[in-house]
Amino acid sequence: MISIDDITAALAKAFTESEHNYISEQMALRTEDVGKRLYDNPIIRIGSAADPLWAQLKEPQAVGPLFRTPKEWMTEAKSVISYFAPFSDFVVDGNREDNIAVGNGWLYARVEGQAFLTEVNHFLENWFESHGVKALSPYASEEFRYVFEAGTCEQIEDKSLSFTSNWSERHVAYVCGLGTFGLSKGLITERGVAGRFGSVIVDASLEVTPRKYSDIYEYCTKCGACTRCPGGAITLENGKSHILCSAYVNRMREQYAPRFGCGKCQVKVPCERGIPKK
């Protein structure tokens, strides 16, 4: 049986060896950024496709009716592999320097870094296939759908839905045991909140990692550090407003085109690099 260590080793090799995990000359906004790494090696957890939590994610207060369970993505689904790729010190430290200006590393990580993770998702599909296991990464598939403000996605019939997707990587990571949500709605893992997620569904029964938590906000201390959000989207009283966050990120799209980003809720916070102490 394929073990979590086998997958961890395969991903570590891909993250170390792929040129797309490093800033190239063509990408670089300044020469000293060339060769810097985007992500550290990822951490991995494995969930069961039979977990009753998947169905709960369809409830309106969770992800909502757009969400498709692993078995709805792949009828033969048995397990789900979710990974968290922590941003490198270059990416995180660069975005700590100013409370508003977005660090170069964060900009590369948001755009080219997400493209690299899509490549990683396809790498995982091929890696499993080479071991005789059928694999699908919903986020990297043509059927992935997401919507920001209601009515802005042509391919989604229900125009009342907003800020949702048919495969939310944070919720998938939560079910697989990678971590719990914070006030900023980022998912806090044992390597912190500063990073991005990916996943694949497979038709093999792999050993499931037990969840070490029972509450969706268990790791968050509600310290309020992320309320320094420059978009004014996060408060201790009301949590995080996706509308205000999204509007602010859109302003950053104008400022940093063709890149964008913000991520101030994921740096200079006690959950930046680990689970904060209560």
Q: Return residues touching ligand B12 (CB under 6 A).
A: 53, 56, 61-63, 110, 139, 146, 148, 163-165, 167-171, 174, 181, 184-187, 193, 195-197, 216, 240, 242, 245-246, 249, 261-263, 265-266
Task: List C-alpha distances in Å: 118 to 122, 123, 152, 244, 268.
Answer: 6, 9, 23, 27, 27
Query: Residue 174 CB, nearest distance to ligand B12 (Å)?
Result: 5
Query: Residue 238 CB, nearest distance to ligand B12 (Å)?
Result: 11
Query: Hey, is 77 helix, strand or coil?
Result: coil
Closest CA to 195 of 10, 61, 14, 44: 44
133, burial (CB in 10 Å: exposed 0-12, middle 13-18, buried 19+): middle
Nearer to ligand B12 among residue 48 and residue 184 (C-beta):
184
Nearer to ligand B12 among residue 119 and residue 131 (C-beta):
119
Query: Residue 160 CB, nearest distance to ligand B12 (Å)?
Result: 14
Nearer to ligand B12 among residue 2 and residue 83 (C-beta):
83
Crossing angle of helices 4-17 and 104-130, rounded to 10°: 130
Question: What DSSP state is assigned to residue 22?
Answer: B
Nearer to ligand B12 among residue 53 and residue 131 (C-beta):
53
Query: Hey, is 136 helix, strand or coil?
Result: strand
Nearer to ligand B12 among residue 2 and residue 241 (C-beta):
241
How many CB atoms are located within 10 Å of the residue 99 CB?
11
Contact 261, 254 (CB under 8 A): no
Query: Residue 248 CB, nearest distance to ligand B12 (Å)?
Result: 8
User: How distant is the alpha carbon of residue 23 from its chain centre?
Assistant: 20
Nearer to ligand B12 among residue 62 and residue 150 (C-beta):
62
Query: Residue 1 CB, nearest distance to ligand B12 (Å)?
Result: 28
Query: Residue 171 CB, nearest distance to ligand B12 (Å)?
Result: 5
Nearer to ligand B12 among residue 2 and residue 110 (C-beta):
110
Query: Residue 142 CB, nearest distance to ligand B12 (Å)?
Result: 14
145's CB contacts (< 8 A; 6+ apart) are 66, 153, 155, 156, 165, 166
Cis previous bond, 42, omega within 30: no
